[in-house]
Structure 1
Amino acid sequence: MSQPTILRRKTKDDDLPDEIALEILARLPVKSLLRFRCVCKSWYSSIATPNFIYNNLLYCKCNDHNPGFFIHMPKTTCPMVSFRRPHSQICTVASDRTFETTSEFRIPFSFQSGYPHFVGSCNGILCITDFVTSKSKDVYLWNPSIRKFKRLPDTCLTQLRTVRLGFGYDSLNNDYKIVRISRTCAKPMLPLEVEVYSLSSNSWKRVGLGISWRSNAVFHKFNCTLTFPFVSGNLHWMIEMIEGGGQERLFTSIILSFDVNSEKFKELPLPDDEGSCITKCLTSFKEKLALIKFGYGVQPHSLLCSIWVMGDSWNKLRVLPIENLTDFIGFTNYGLLLVQKRSRLVSTNSELERKHKSVLIDPETLHEKEIQVDYRLDVAAYMENLALLDGANVVSY
C-alpha cells in the first residue's frame, strides 16, 4: 500500500536565488526568454538589462550545438530590379551548410528609393540603408528575432558626398557602432571624412583619419563589391586609387582598417601576387579577413579564384577554377563559397533566355551544390540576440 502524499506549503526558502535563476535564464534561446518575461515583473526587467543581454550573447556564441545561419535578400543592382521583384523586401534565413530556408522576415520599414541594402550584421543585429548610398539619409538597425528596429539620427556631414558605411561591435563597451566614411569628387582629392555612431549614446561624432593620406592621389574610390567585412574587432575597406598624372600614373589599392574599440585607423598591405587579376574584393573567411582575386583560367569562360587569408601575414589558401562565373556572393560561416554562374539557354515564351544558377562550393573538395535561387543575393551572417530589446527610440512591430 502506497504511503499518502504529504502536502506542505511552499516557503520562501524553496525559491532559487535571483542570481542563480538569471544565470539559468541567460542560457536559454531568445524565443523562450521573450515568453519568460511574462512570468513576473523582476524577470521582465532583468532580461532587458545590458548585462543579461551580454551574458546571453556569450552563451549563444559558445554553444557548439547552435547551427550556423545567414540571412539573404535580393541584391539591387539596378533600380528596375525592384519593380520586377516584389519580394525584394523579404529577408530569408537559411542554414549556412545546406542553404535550406528556416524562416522569412519582411523588412518592417521602407526607403524613399525602395532599394534596401545590407550594411552589415553583428550578433544578429542587421544594419540596413538605402541602395542609393550617396544620397541616403536613412540608416536602420533591425533585430528580426525580437521584431524591433531603430532609425538612426541624421548626421551633420553634407549629403553631397559619396558615402560608405560599415557596421561593427565594440566588445570592450558592449556597444554597436556604425562608421560613415565620405569623400568628395573635388580636385585636388581631399582626405576622407569620418563619423562614428554609437548605439549606447545614440549619437554621431567626428573621428580623425589619423594616418597620412596620399597627397598625390588624383582619383580614388571604394571597392564595394561586397559589404565591408568586420573581422576581429576591425572594419575593413579597400580603396582603389590613381596616384600621379600623365605617364607617371600609378594604379594602387590600399586596405583601410578601423578598430571599433579604440576608434583608430591603420593601413594594411595587400598580398604580393604577380598573377593576372581581373577584379578583387575583401570579405571574411571563417572569422578571418580574406582577399578574393579573380584571374583568367586556361579554359574558355573559366576563371581562377585565389583565396588569400590574413593571419600574421597574408597566406594563399588555395586557387579554385570556376567556370561561367557571373557573380561572387561570399562565404558562409561554415566556409562554403557562394557564387552565381551562367547556365544554359532555356526557351521561355518562344524566346531563348540565359538562366543563372547559384552554387555552393566546398573549397576543400570542390564539391558543388546548386541552390534554388535565380537572382543575385545580398547576404549577412545571422543569429538570434536580445539587443534593442528595450532601447531608446526603438520601434516594435
Structure 2
Amino acid sequence: MKMPDLPEVLVEEILCRVPATSLKKFRSTCQGWNRTIKDDRSFARKHSEKASKQFLAFKLTKICRVCPITVNLNGRSPSVEVKPELTLVDPRSNSQFDIYRVFHCDGLVLCNPKDSYRVVVWNPLTGETKWIESGGRCGLTFLLGYSRDSKSNSKIYKIMSCFLDTKESEIYEFNSDSWRKIDHDIAPGWGLAGSFYTTVCSLKGNTYWFDRDETKIMSLLMFDFTLETCVSLPLPYKCNGYDTMNLSVVREEKLSVLLQEDYRFKSEIWVTNKIDESTSVVSWTKLLVLDLSDIHISAFGSFLLEEEKKMVLWSEQWLDDRDEEMSKDMIYIVGEDNEVTLVDTGTDTRDVSFPAIFTYVPSLVQINPPGTN
C-alpha cells in the first residue's frame, strides 16, 4: 500500500521534532528531505527550537583526537567506553587535524592547534567545517559564542580572540567572515589572558571562566557576546584561591563548579539555580561533598556532572612513575558514596595535550554562508 503524500509543511513539522542524530538516516529517503535537512537554514533553526536535545559525551585525548564516549552509570560497576576517533581532515596536509584545545558551543566545536595560527569550527554531526586564519600571531586564545539578531532573533555566531599579556582582543563574525578589533577593554581590572589556561565553558551563547580581580578574590567571569564585554559573577563563597577549581555545563541549562579550597579540604560540587547576567546575581546549591584525597586531581583536569544520579566523571592524566614524560588518559567516576571507579581510556603516550571531557549537543546549525563549503 502506497503511503499518501503529505503536505510539505506537515512533513517539515514532523522532521523538526526528530532527534538530530536520527535525521542523518532520513537524508537518503528522498531528494526533498535531503535538501531540507542539509541546506535549509530556516529548518535548522526550527529543529533547534522544537526537537528534544541529545546530550552526548566527547573526549579530547592526549594524542589530539576527539572521540565519542559511552557512559553507563547504572548498577554497581559504572563504566566508560571510548569510541573510535571522529574524522577531521586538515585540507592543507590531507591528514587528521591535531587538536590541542577544544571548546563546545551550541552543537559547534571550536578546535585549536598548538600554534594558534588558525582555528577550525566544526559541526561533528554534519561534518561541515570553517577554517579561520587568526592573523599569524602566536599566543592567541579563542572563545566561541553567539549574540541574537535584534529583529529576527536568529543567532549570530562569533569568535573572541585575546592576545596573551595584552589588552588587545578581536571579534570574528561568521556573517561577515572577517575580524575586527574591540575598541575597549573587555575586562577592566581583571587578569584576563592568563585565566584562559583554566577551564572555559559556554552556556546559552556566553562563555564563563575563573578569574580574580584587583582585590585577589576569585570569581566567575562571563563574556557577553552581545555587549562584547565581561561581567563578574560571584562563586558560592569568597576565596583568594583554590587548590583545585573546575567548571562544567549541566545539560545546557546550568553551570557546575568543583571547588577545593585546600588539599586538606574535601571537594565540593555546586550548581547554579539562577544566573542573571544583567544584575550579576547568581544563586548556588551545594550538590556533593567528595573526599578525593586518594586520587589525583589537578587544575588541568575536566569533569562532567550527572546531576540526577549525583555522580561525577573526572578526566585526568596519570603520570608514569617510571618515566615522567609518559602518561595515560584516565577517567575517575565517583558518586556521593565516595566509591571511585578508575577507567583507563588510553595507552601510554608522551605528553601532547591535556585530556578533556565535555558534553556535545548534536545540532544542524550551519557554519558557512549558503552556497559555500
Q: After TM superposition, is the score higher than 0.5? A: yes
**Identity fraction in percent:** 22
Does residue 366 (structure 1) correspond to residue 364 (structure 2)? The answer is no
Matched residue of 1:325: which SS? coil
Unaligned runs of 5+ in 1: 1-6, 76-87, 186-191, 244-249
Could you tell me whether the CA contact under 8 Å between 1:37 and 1:43 is conserved in 2?
Answer: yes
1:16 aligns with: 6
Distance of aligned partners of 1:139 and 1:392 in 2 relative to their CA distance in 1, 3 Å threshold: farther
2:295 aligns with: 324
2:142 aligns with: 165
5 Å matches for 1:122-141? 122-132=105-115, 136-141=116-121
Distance of aligned partners of 1:278 and 1:101 in 2 relative to their CA distance in 1, 3 Å threshold: closer
Matched residue of 1:327: which SS? coil
Q: Of 313, 316, 319, which residue of structure 2 is paired with 1:340?
A: 316
Q: How many pairs were matched up? A: 337
Q: CA shift at 1:252, angstroms?
A: 4.3
Distance of aligned partners of 1:137 and 1:389 in 2 relative to their CA distance in 1, 3 Å threshold: closer
Letter in 2 for 1:180: S
Letter in 1 for 2:158: K
Q: CA shift at 1:18, angstroms?
A: 0.8
Distance of aligned partners of 1:179 and 1:276 in 2 relative to their CA distance in 1, 3 Å threshold: closer
5 Å matches for 1:104-119? 104-109=85-90, 115-119=98-102
RMSD: 3.9
Does residue 178 (structure 1) correspond to residue 163 (structure 2)? The answer is no
Distance of aligned partners of 1:226 and 1:58 in 2 relative to their CA distance in 1, 3 Å threshold: farther
Distance of aligned partners of 1:153 and 1:204 in 2 relative to their CA distance in 1, 3 Å threshold: same
Q: Of 231, 247, 258, which residue of structure 1 is paired with 2:223?
A: 258
Letter in 2 for 1:167: L
Q: Of 67, 72, 75, which residue of structure 2 is paired with 1:92?
A: 67
Letter in 2 for 1:256: L
Letter in 2 for 1:101: V
Distance of aligned partners of 1:93 and 1:291 in 2 relative to their CA distance in 1, 3 Å threshold: same
5 Å matches for 1:1-397? 14-30=4-20, 33-34=23-24, 36-47=26-37, 48-60=39-51, 62=52, 66=54, 68-75=55-62, 88-97=63-72, 98-109=79-90, 115-132=98-115, 136-155=116-135, 159=137, 162-170=139-147, 172-184=153-165, 192-209=167-184, 213-214=188-189, 221-240=193-212, 251-273=216-238, 277-286=242-251, 287-298=253-264, 304-310=266-272, 311=274, 312-322=282-292, 323-327=294-298, 329-332=301-304, 334-335=306-307, 336-340=312-316, 357-362=330-335, 364-374=336-346, 377-388=355-366, 391=369, 395=373
Could you tell me whether the CA contact under 8 Å between 1:231 and 1:284 is conserved in 2?
Answer: yes
Q: CA shift at 1:209, angstroms?
A: 4.5
Give the Cα separation in 2 of the matches to 1:195 and 1:38.
41
Q: Deviations over 1:42-92 (max 9, x none)?
A: 4343322111112223344x25xx4x31111224xxxxxxxxxxxx24321
TM-score, with structure 2 as normaliser: 0.73
Distance of aligned partners of 1:304 and 1:339 in 2 relative to their CA distance in 1, 3 Å threshold: farther
